[in-house]
Amino acid sequence: MIYGIGIDVVHIERMRIVVEKWGQRFLKRVFTDREISYCYKKKNPYLSLSVRFAAKEAMIKAVGSEIPLSFTDIEVVNIGTGKPFFSFGEKIDSFFMKKSITSAHLSLSHEHEYGVACVVLEQ
What average pLDDT does this structure show over 20-35? Answer: 98
Q: CB–CB of 52/71 below 8 Å? A: no
Please, which residues have CB within 8 angstroms of residue 113's CB and are 6 or more apart in sequence? 11, 12, 13
What percentage of the chain carries pLDDT values higher than 70?
100
Q: How confident is the model at residue 94 (pLDDT cuts 50, 70, 90)?
A: very high
Query: Residue 6: in which H helix or E strand, if any?
Result: strand 2-11
Domain ranges of the chain: 2-122
For residue 5, count other CB atoms closer than 10 A to its CB. 13
Catalytic residue (one of 56, 83, 98, 110): 110
CA distance 104 to 121: 5
Prediction pTM value: 0.96
Q: How confident is the model at residue 80, as a pLDDT?
A: 87
- Residue 110: active-site member: yes
What would the pLDDT profile of 78-89 be if each residue is shown by its tens digit? 998 999 999 998
The arrangement of strands across the sheet holding 114-122 comes to 2-11, 114-122, 103-111
Catalytic residue (one of 21, 28, 43, 61): 61
Q: How confident is the model at residue 91, as a pLDDT?
A: 93
CA distance 96 to 74: 13
Strand partners, 77: 85
Looking at domain 2-122, its CATH class is alpha beta
What would the pLDDT profile of 37-80 be if each residue is shown by its tens digit? 999 999 999 999 999 999 999 999 999 988 999 999 999 999 98
Q: CB–CB of 76/52 below 8 Å? A: yes
Q: How confident is the model at residue 23, as a pLDDT?
A: 97
Return the DSSP state at 113.
Answer: T
- Residue 61: active-site member: yes
